[in-house]
Structure 1
Amino acid sequence: MVTFSPVAQAIDFQDCDTLLFTSKNSVKIANDIDPKWREYPSIAIGKETAKTITELGGHLVALSKEAYASSVAELIEEDFKNSKILYLRPEVVSSENLATLVRQQVIYKTKCVAYPKSKQPRKKAVIIVTSPSTIRCFLENFEWQESYHAVAIGRVTAEALPPFVRYSIASEPTISACISLAKELDTAQF
C-alpha cells in the first residue's frame, strides 16, 4: 500500500545526544542516510522499532511502555528531561505530542502505491491497516466494501478509520499480532 522515500540528504546531529525513532522505517532510512546514527543512544516506540535499532547495530536505551506518542512523552519527561533528543520522523505524523519536547527532523515521506482495480480484495476480506497512511492509501485505490473487516495495529490507527468501517484492534501493536487476529477473523468469517 505504501512506500517510503528519503527526503533528507543528511541528518543534523548538531546539539543532540539521543535519538528518537517511532517506526522501523525511520530507523532503516536513517541508516541509509547516515550510519553515524548508531553512535547515539536511541529511544524506540514499539517492539519492531526496537528490534530494528538493535539489528542495525544501534544502541537501544529505552522502549516506551506503549506504542503511542503520549507514552513516549511521559518517558521523555521522566527519564530524559535533560537529554537533547532528535526525533527522526516522517513528513506526516499521526500525533504532534512530541513537538515541544524534542527537536525534529523530517527524513522521509510516505507515498501511496497505485493498484489496478483488478487487485481489489475479495468480499469478506480482512484488511490489515498499520497506520493512518495505509488507510488513506487503501481508500485511494479501492472502495471499502461493507463485507470487509479491518484489523488495526493500534488505537490511533483505528481512530483514523472511517466511521462505517467494522474493525478490531490487535492485541499488541505488531504486524505479527495483526496477522494472527486477521487469520482468526478470516477463519471465523466474523
Structure 2
Amino acid sequence: MNINIKEFIKSLNLIFYEFDSKENSLIKDVDYSNKHTKLEFFKITYYLSKERIPFNVVKDKTITFKETSFNIKEKFSIFIENFKNNSKNIFLLNDKKVQWAKNIPLFKITFINKEIDFTKYDAIVFTSKNAIKAINSINKNWKKIPSYVISEQTAKLVKDLDGKLEYISKTKHGNEFAYEILNLLKGKKVLYLRGEEIVSDFLEIMKDNSIDCKDEIIYKNSFNEKVKKVKIPKNSKIIFTSPSTVKYFFKIFSWDKSYKAISIGKTTAQYIPKDINTVIADNTSFKSCVNKALETN
C-alpha cells in the first residue's frame, strides 16, 4: 500500500508533534511533556501500526520513518552539519531558547489584571500565547470556556493548561482567522483576550459580521530598555516573530545588506521594510523559524 506519509500525518490533526520532511520524522515539541503529548504519541503509533507503516521510536519520543542504524560516514556527516549550524549567526529577537539561535531579548511582557466574569461568554478567542499566560495568571475560569486559537503553538498552551480547545485556525493569520471562524461564532457571546496593540482587523471583522464580540486587553508588549546592544556579524539571519520585534530591532540596530530576514508569518513580514528580502517560516513556531534560517543561503 502506497501512503503519502505527509498527508497521512496531516489527517491525524496533531498538535505536539511536527513532521520534519528533511529528517523524515515526527518530532515532539520538547517544551511540553504532559498527558496530552503521551496521548498524541499513542495515537500516532496506533494508526501507524494499523496502516502497517514502518517506523522507529528514537530519542525524545521522536518517531522516524527512516532507518535508524548509522554508519561512520553518516555519523560524521551529522557531526559536520551540527558544527556548521553552531557556527551560523542566527538571532532570535526574544528570550526563547532554540537550538542554533542566539537571543536578543528586545521586549518584555507585562500582564494587566482584569476582573472578568466568564459566565457571560460562550467562546474565547486567542491570537497570542501571551494572552493565555496572562489570563491564566489572573483568572483560571477561562479554562471552562471553549477556546478558538490562531495556531498550533497557541493550541499547545491551551491544552497544556487543561483549557477547553475548540478550534485551531487553518490559516494562522489574523484577518483570515477572523473570517474562518465567523460561522462558528454566530449566536455566541465571544470574548477576545488580547494585547494592548493588535495588527489585524479582527474586531472590525467581527463587528461587520454581527458577531457579539467583546475584547479585553490583558497584557502589553514594551521595549526592553535593559537589552544589551550586541554586534551582529555580516551574513547573519535575523528572525522577526512579531511586528513589535521589527519596530524594536530598527530602534537600536541598522540593517546590513548582507543580513537575511526570516519572518514567523505573513502579518509580521508586512512590517519589515519593503526593500528587505524576507523569507517566511513554514509554520508559526520559533523552531520552524530557526530551521528556515538554517536553510536560507
TM-score, normalised by the number of residues in structure 1: 0.91
SS of the equivalent of 1:98 reads helix
SS of the equivalent of 1:157 reads helix
State whether structure 2 residue 264 is matched by structure 1 residue 159: no
Shift of 1:157: 0.6
State whether structure 2 residue 125 is matched by structure 1 residue 31: no
SS of the equivalent of 1:109 reads strand
CA distance in 1, matches of 2:119, 2:196: 20
Task: From the superposition, tell whether residues 88 and 13 of structure 1 become closer, same or farther in structure 2 (CA, over 3 Å).
Answer: same
Q: Which residue of 1 aligns with 2:228?
A: 116
One-letter identity of the residue aligned with 2:125 = L
The answer as to whether partners of 1:8 and 1:106 remain within 8 angstroms in 2 is: no
Q: How does 1:1-190 map to 2 (within 5 A)?
A: 1-13=106-118, 15-99=120-204, 100=207, 101=211, 102-114=213-225, 115-117=227-229, 119-185=230-296, 190=297
TM-score, normalised by the number of residues in structure 2: 0.59
The answer as to whether partners of 1:65 and 1:71 remain within 8 angstroms in 2 is: no
Q: Which residue of 1 aligns with 2:36?
A: none
The answer as to whether partners of 2:175 and 2:201 remain within 8 angstroms in 1 is: no
Shift of 1:88: 0.2
What is the root-mean-square deviation in Å for CA atoms of aligned residues? 1.5
CA distance in 2, matches of 1:86, 1:108: 15
Shift of 1:12: 4.4
Structure 1 residues 37-73: Cα deviation after superposition (integer angstroms, max 9, x where no partner): 1111111001100010000110100111111122322
Structure 1 residues 69-103: Cα deviation after superposition (integer angstroms, max 9, x where no partner): 22322233221211111000000011123342421
The answer as to whether partners of 2:240 and 2:262 remain within 8 angstroms in 1 is: yes
The number of residues matched between the two structures is 185
User: Percent identity over the alignment?
Assistant: 34
Shift of 1:120: 3.1
Higher relative contact order (CA 8 A, sep 6+): 1
The answer as to whether partners of 2:135 and 2:142 remain within 8 angstroms in 1 is: yes
Q: Which residue of 1 aligns with 2:43?
A: none
Shift of 1:164: 2.3
The answer as to whether partners of 1:120 and 1:142 remain within 8 angstroms in 2 is: no
One-letter identity of the residue aligned with 1:26 = A
Which stretches in structure 1 are left out of the alignment for 5+ residues?
A: none
One-letter identity of the residue aligned with 1:143 = S
SS of the equivalent of 1:92 reads coil
Which stretches in structure 2 are left out of the alignment for 5+ residues?
A: 1-105
